[in-house]
Amino acid sequence: MLNYQNRLRDKEDFQKVIQQGRSVANRQVVIYLLTKEEQDHIRMGVSVSKKIGKAVVRNRVKRLIREAVRVLLPQLNWKGDMIVIARQPIVDMDYSQVMASLVHCMKRGKILP
């Protein structure tokens, strides 16, 4: 589970990141990034649409994404807010595939070396 300081929760924060940030995407996820140099940590939020599936499926996808990001946090050389939005193909993926997909997007976004 992510620490309290690493969670992005407010609707206004989500909107600000989506409107002002940049995005990186692949078939499974879209990652919105808003750089904040004055911030000393990374805040992350997850969004999974009802189009993905029922609540059980959506919650499983959110757990997989949060755990993958939690493992990757120490490696990130970036400060700011991040939103991960799941796309439909992620439903059939296991943890290692979700991790690979997030690593791919983060490398494209230049927040992971």
Would you list the domain boundaries of the chain?
Answer: 4-108
pLDDT digit string (tens) for the chain, length 113 residues: 677 888 898 999 999 999 999 999 999 999 999 999 888 889 999 999 999 999 999 999 999 999 999 999 999 888 999 999 999 999 999 999 999 999 999 999 999 88
CA distance 86 to 102: 10
Question: For residue 90, what pLDDT is reported?
Answer: 95
User: What is residue 85's DSSP assignment?
Assistant: E
CATH fold label, 4-108: Ribosomal Protein S5; domain 2 (3.30.230)
Rounded to a whole number of angstroms, the CA Rg of the chain reads 13
